[in-house]
Structure formats: C-alpha cells, structure tokens
Amino acid sequence: MYFDPRVYAALISLQPAIPYDGIKPSGSCVYVSTPRPYENKSVSWDCEAGYYCLGPSYSSKFLCTDGFYCPENTQPVYCCAGYYCENPKTIKLCPEGYFCPIGTVNPLSCHYMASCPPGSTSANKYLIGVLATAIMLLILILFQIKKKVDEEKNKKYKRLLIEPRFENSEKTLDRVSKTFDIEFEDLGLVLPSGIEIMKGVSGSLVHGRTCAIMGPSGSGKTTLVSLLTGKIRRTDGKIKVKKFNENGIEVIGTSRQLDYYRKLIGFVPQEDIMLREPTIREILVHSALMRLPTEMPREEKKQKVIDVIKFLELSHVMDTVIGDEESRGISGGQRKRTNIGMELVAEPSILFLDGPTSGLDSATALEVCKLLKKVVKHQGITVAAVIHSPSENAFKMFDDLMLLGKGGRVVYFGPRDEAMNYFNDLGFVLPEDESEPDFIMEIASGRVKPKDDDLCLEDLYDLWLKFQYQKKNRASSVDSYSVSNEGIIINVESSLKPGRVRFWTPIYQTIHEFYHYVIDVGSEFSYFLKGLIFWTKDPVRQTPNVFFSFILLFKRACLQIYRNKTRFLFDLLLHFGCGALVSLATNGLDYIGRAPNQLCSIAPYVELSSCLNARDDLQTIGVLAALGVTFCGINAGTTTFGYEKVVYWRDTSSGMKTGPYFLAKSIADIPRMLIAGLMFSLAFILFYSYRARFGEIYVIILLTYIASWELGYFLSAIFSKEKFGLVGTGFALAFGMVLSGATPILDTVKENNSLKWIYWMFDISASRWSVEALYLKELDPRKWIEIHTESLKFTYSFDHYPKALYNIIFIALAWSCLAFLAMKLCNRDKQR
C-alpha cells in the first residue's frame, strides 16, 4: 500500500523525543511519528520500538542500526545532537563531562582541557589556549636559564682578558710556522661565451709584504683573487708556490698547486659574511676550533682567540651579538674586523681580502689597513687585498701594488712607493691637488694622458710588458709570446683568433667545465672514502674529523636557534595560528552515516543520492590539515639553510664538510619540529570534534611536519631566498592539496587513462598518506554500520595505517637525502 506523498505528509507528525532518563524533552530533538491506533486515523502503524516499518500494510519490519533513534511506530531518525542512543530504542541526554554530536551511540569524553555541560554537542576547548600559554612561559624560563649560563661563560673569558700577563702586554700575534711566496705568470680567463676578461697577468706575492690590488670597475680585481685561490678555474697561465719554514728557508721539493694548501689560506670576502646571532667571541671560537690543527690543545686555541680579540681591539664588544638590519649589534668597522678575525684565528699562511675597506668611512678604512700591516709585521704571512679608492694614508700601508686596467690587463706591478716613478717616466705628472692613489686609478681608467705624449690605455699594457721584458733581458717579441698552462703550450696570437673564439670556445668551455665538475665531485668522494676507511691524515693540516665537527656545528646551530627568544616564540605563535585557522575551517564538518537502504527505496528520486551516501567530510578535514602543515613546514624548513647559504659557502671553502654541517642543523631543528607539531595539533583540535586519540593526531601531524620541513631544506638548496615565498607556496599547494588524493580523488586518477601515468606522484606526496592516516583514525571509532561492513572509499583500507606512516617517514628521508645532495652538488664554484 503506497500513498500519495501529500497524503503521507498529512498522516505523519513530529513528536518531541522523550529521554529515557526522564529529563524534560528538548524542542529541538524530535522524531517522525506515524499514525497510531488510538489516534483514530484512516490508517495506522503497529511497529515496536527498535524497528521501523515502511507502511501500514507491510508485513515485514526492519531493525534500526546504531546511530539512529527508533521509538515505536516511527521512521528512523538520527540520534539527536546533545543526546546519545545506546540502542535505537532509547535516547538520553548527554551527561556533564561528555559531548554528543549527531548519531552518538556512546558519549564522547571531553578530555582534560575542555568544558562540557549536560547536553553538549561539542567540547568547549578554549582551555587549550591556557596550555599553549603555559608552554610558551616554560620556554621563556628555559631561555632565561640559558642566558644565565651564557653570562657565566662570558665571565670566564673576561677574566682571561684582565689577567696581568695580558693587561699591559703589547697586542701582538705569534709568527706562523709556514710561509709561502706565490708566483703567477700569464694568467688568463676566457668565459664560455668567448669573452676574455683576463689576459697575461703576471706577478708575485711575497710573504712578509702586503699587496694592494687596484683598478677601475671591470678590471678583474676580484677575478684575479678568485683565480689565485682556485675559486675560478683559469684557462691560461701557471701558478707556482714556494714554501718556507719558520726560519725563512725555502723548503725544496714541495712544488704544489696553491689549492693543495687550502687549509692554510684565509679569504676575507667583501661582504661581512657571518652568522648574525652569535657574539664576536662565539664566532671566533667556532672558527678556531674548526680550523686549527687537532694537535693544538683546546685551551691554546681559546687563548688564540683571546689574543686575536685583543689584537683587533674588540675586547669591549666581544660578547655583543653581530646583529643585522633588524636587531642592532656591533658597528660596521667592528664587523669588518671580526670578518678578518675569523681568518686570523685559523693562523693562515696566506690571506686574501676582497674589498676590506668597502663601505667604511676613511678613518675606519685606515684602521683596517693599519691592521693588515700589523698582521704582516707580526706573523710574516702573505697578504693581498683588493682595495677600492683608498685614502693617501691607507694606500701607504701597503708594500706592493698590482694595478689592473679594463679587460684584466696589468698596468703596473711592483713596490708601491716606486709606482709614481714608473708613471713619471711615461710622462704622467701628479697634480698638486690630487692624491697619489686617485691619480693612479685615473691612469688605469684611461682618463688622464701623459704630458708630452698621446698614449691610450692599450699602450699602457704593452709598455708594461715591454718594461718587464727589458727588465728580465728577454729578447722575444711581445706580440708572439707563448704561455704555459700546466705543461700545455698555447700560442696566444693564434688561440684568440676571433672566428675560432666566437664559435668553438663556448662549446669547449662548457664541456671543459662539466668535465672538471665530474672530476671535482669524484675526487672529493674518493678522498672522503679514503679518509673514512683508512683514517688517513691531512698532510697539510689535520683539522677536527667529522664527529668533532658535528659537535661543534651542532652547538653553533643550537645557539642560532635558541639565542633569539622573541623570534622563537613568534614562530610558535604562527604555527598555533595556522592550526587554529584550519580548525575553524573544519568546524561543522563530520561523518554522518547513510540512511537505511529500505528507507531509501521509497525516497524521492532527487533525494536518492544523498539518502544512499553518507555525509563524509573526513577527507576534507584531512586535506585542510595537510595543506596547513605542509605550508608551515616548508616555510619553516627554508629558514634553516636558505638564509645562510653564503655562510655555508664560506665555511666549505675553508675546509668544512657538508655532511656534519647538514646533520647538525637537521638534528638541532628536531625540537622546533616537535614543538611546532604540538602547537599546530593543539590548535587543530580547538574547534574540531575529533574522535581519534590526541596522540595519534599528533603523530600524523608531526610526521607530515618533518616531511614538509625536509622539503623546505631541498627547496632552499635549489632556489634563492628571494623566491622562497612563491616557490614554497606553489609546492605547498601541489603536495598539500593537488596531490593529497582528494582533488582529483585517487579512484579517478587510477581509472582515468589520461591521469594514471601520474599516479606515482601521489605516492611520493606525504600529504596523500597523512590524509589517509587521519581519515582512518577518525573513521574507526564511529559506530555507523557501513564503516566496518563495507569497503572504504578513496582506495583506503584500515590495514593501510602503518603503511601510511612508514611512507611519510620514507618520503621525509628521501627529501633529506635530496637536500643534502643539492647542497653538495649545486654552486660548487662558490664552495671552493
């Protein structure tokens, strides 16, 4: 017997549910009542409680399942929110300390950080904010304890400074045991494009003397230093190194390339490349412990730092942080002296400086030049500095002058005080109102002419070559000389023909650079294996091995992270805020089981789909959480390495190994990951009525954080810091949403011929597995009958939960390995 829908609607009525415990019924909790015999209607149902019947003439009755409320003579309705139905026959008000969303079978505990009055539909978890505040207060206390420990350590070093033996002693440094002279002949460099930027540069750098390298912009001053230090591979010329013992006697039979003595070479870059969080003393101590020989006692190394601090006149600010544009620290001149001190504490035998006076006022620049003069006087080392527009007094602090012209050609090289005599002989007269260094720079730029002659800049190059050859009594023609490149003779006149350079040189240079890149990587790897297996010692200087390097680098990494409490707490607030926003977006999302099939059989066709399918928002909740975690993790991970790449390049060029550095920074980040995951998890459950255990949610979010953090490492190794924001957002959207398995869903990708070839990309997405893991843990506690009797959607299975966690861990390890390789293999020219 079937009714016209309008007749059926007139027969049924909404009746308030009567709680089994006798509490007054709520007007919001009602059920559908069918006509009963005592109502004297044309038809009536006679269906006992716990069952439902489809019509008055139906002889069969159907059992109500968990999650529904079925009093006698009714259609099944979902158990009301704020109530729970232990069985379909009864309904009870949700007790205090519990909450009951729609379809509740057993009341859900409010846990320990929530308030739930009787009849609660969700947990009021605002006390989580109190817990988050308590965590931050605890962190503040730990920061204060660390500050006290640092102050005690600072007092120990200050006591060393005021000891009588240092108080009135002269500020000196000990002479180094090994010194070197560097002779270079006909150095040249041709770019892959065929452009020649340096040609025929010859000269020598002598220990115990300072050499100023000067010239106009584009003359190749920095390029010359890079060629000498091996940072750039020369295309022509040769470099010879002479080694002297502590008595100044040349050691015969020690002919080596300059890069062989890399650990004895100090290089001070033009920019003050150093970490900004440590103090001057901490930076210098770290440099000394990392670069001084292992046979030197630790106390002696620390004493070396104290000596350098006194020598650099930095005693009064040695416990001041370096600082940056945001946080005030030491002055520009003090930072420049610290930059030099980082090399001096390593006792280099050769010291190159690129623009040590750049950006300084004339008085501070003069102080730096006097400092270099004192270093050479006391230590007897070889010093060469690229100087830009020095003052008269600063210029006089140098013993020798290398003057380059545009195109990387030599205009003059020799004693600084003989430079004007040479140019006077060429007809250049120094005006009375102009300083000597400024006038020399104008000559090299071609802006002044001789008094009685009309020389151009090209003539100055040829005149210098002629002067050199006359000085050496060589009769060979300047226009047809040959240069040697490690035993290979190249005729300059023939090798630089325009047609050949323009076509073949770029191709040759590209192949040549790739060949040397492979050789460089292979030789470093073989050297690492050799040292690891045979424990061979470095013949030049044995510095701390990978284990001790790791300890030193780990201490420095912890100092970086935990020095600035404001920044640390602000990061935690950002993670908490992102979690709270995600939680707010999930408010109202839930899983509500589908209606019974028998009931759906008489439903209108337009409502059939919603009747037969459960309301499943759990995957959406997982995607929102994964997207938030991925975004936060990537952005946090890029800050670990991305903002100190130049520091990493400087450290590796002085001998630091990438392995211990990467491992130390990664392990130092673990507390950040743990706390970030905790803050996000606490905020995530703020508005979301979760069913899984909090520990399970935390584990899933934490593992996703770690995988995203490692992805941030990889991106920071590949891209420049200016692109981190855009690239990080793009990867977060790609892995956190598109490859999460929700849009498009995995079923569609697997079955669609045009998409199934990219299915592997979902497998390498940590978000895809974290969404599944959270979905399974949230679905399992629910009591709807279809959950454990039918196959799950989205290709998910309850058996996949361990697999999902393992896959997230493997993906994190894979990103970590890729990040390490990217750091090691990218920008190798800057790591020399």
Query: How do residues 709-735 score in pLDDT, each as one tens digit?
Result: 999 999 999 999 999 999 999 999 999
Rg (CA), the chain: 38
Return the exposure string of 136-157: e unless at least 16 CB atoms fall within 10 Å of the residue's CB, then b.
beebeeebeeeeeeeeeeeeeb
Alpha carbon distance 704, 712 (integer Å): 12
pLDDT at 715: 96
What distances in angstroms separate CA 228 from CA 180, 205, 380, 764, one per listed residue? 13, 10, 19, 45
Q: What is the average per-residue pLDDT within 531-539?
A: 70
- The Cα 708–Cα 711 span in angstroms is 5
Nearest to 49 by CA among 78, 79, 75, 23: 75
Phi, psi torsion values for 575, nearest 5 degrees: -65, -40
β-strand 68-69 against 77-78: which pairing, if any? antiparallel
For the cut 60, the answer to whether the pLDDT of residue 663 exceeds it is: yes
Q: What percent of the chain has pLDDT over 70?
A: 88
pLDDT category, 631, cuts 50, 70, 90?
very high
pLDDT in tens, 111-136: 777 889 999 999 888 888 888 989 99
pLDDT digits (tens, 9 = 90+) for 794-822: 889 999 999 999 999 999 999 999 999 99
Contact 398, 406 (CB under 8 A): no
DSSP 251-316: -TT----GGGGGGGEEEE-SS--S-SSSBHHHHHHHHHHHHS-TTS-HHHHHHHHHHHHHHTT-GG
In single-letter form, the type of residue at position 608 comes to L
pLDDT digits (tens, 9 = 90+) for 158-203: 666 655 444 444 566 788 888 999 999 999 988 777 788 899 999 9
The pLDDT score that the predictor gives to residue 728 is 94
Q: What is the mean pLDDT of the chain?
A: 85
* Residues comprising the chain, all counted: 832
d(CA 199, CA 395): 26
User: Shortest CA distance to 764 belongs to which of 794, 739, 796?
Assistant: 739
pLDDT tens for 316-350 read 899 899 988 777 889 888 999 999 999 999 999 99
Lowest mean pLDDT among 22-31, 60-69, 286-295, 578-587: 22-31
pLDDT (average), residues 759-771: 95
Unique residue bearing structure tokens 């000067």: 214
pLDDT at 486: 35
Q: What is the mean pLDDT of residues 6-31?
A: 73
Q: Which of 527-531, 622-626, 634-638, 668-672 has the lowest mean pLDDT?
A: 527-531
Is 655 in contact with 687 (CB distance < 8 Å)? no
Check residue 234 and give its pLDDT: 86
- Would you state the pLDDT for residue 504? 61
From 61, 102, 54, select the one nearest 75 (Cα to Cα): 54
The model's pLDDT over 198-216, given as tens digits with 9 standing for 90+, comes to 999 999 999 999 999 999 9
Question: Does pLDDT of 500 surpass 60?
Answer: no
**Please, what are the domains in the chain?**
1-126 (no CATH), 179-496 (3.40.50.300), 557-586+617-831 (no CATH)
pLDDT per position as a tens digit, 20-61? 766 766 677 888 887 776 666 667 777 888 988 877 755 578
3-state SS class at 201: strand
User: 199 with 378: CB under 8 angstroms?
Assistant: no
Q: Give the per-residue pLDDT at 167.
A: 47
User: How many angstroms separate the CA atoms of 377 and 740, rounded?
Assistant: 66
Task: Tell me how far apart the alpha carbons of residues 420 and 416 are, in angstroms, rounded to a whole number.
Answer: 8
Backbone angles phi, psi at 412, to 5 degrees: -160, 145
DSSP letter assigned to residue 245: -
What is the rounded CA–CA span in Å between residue 174 and residue 304? 9
- In terms of DSSP bridges, do strands 13-16 and 236-244 run parallel, antiparallel, or are they unpaired? unpaired
The pLDDT score that the predictor gives to residue 492 is: 35
Helix (H, G, I), strand (E, B) or coil at 690: coil
Angstrom CA distances, 454 to 215, 409, 438, 449, 462, stand at: 21, 19, 20, 6, 14
For residue 37, what pLDDT is reported?
66
* Encoded tokens for 774: 């959270």
What φ, ψ does residue 509 adopt, rounded to 5°? -65, -40
The sign of the torsion formed by the CA atoms of 531, 535, 536, 541 equals positive
Helix 280-291 / helix 332-344 crossing angle, nearest 10 deg: 20
- Segment holding 200, helix H or strand E: strand 196-205
The two tokens of residue 398 are 């140098």
Q: What is the pLDDT of residue 622?
A: 96
Nearest CA to 428 among 417, 409, 414, 444?
A: 444
Show the DSSP H helices in 345-398 as ranges. 362-379, 392-395
Is the pLDDT confidence value at 524 over 80? no
Q: Which residues, 6 or more positions from 265, have their beta carbon under 8 angstroms from its beta carbon?
A: 229, 258, 348, 349, 350, 351, 352
Give the residue from 670, 710, 707, 679 showing the smallest Cα distance to 561: 670
Q: Are 630 and 736 in contact (CB under 8 A)?
A: yes
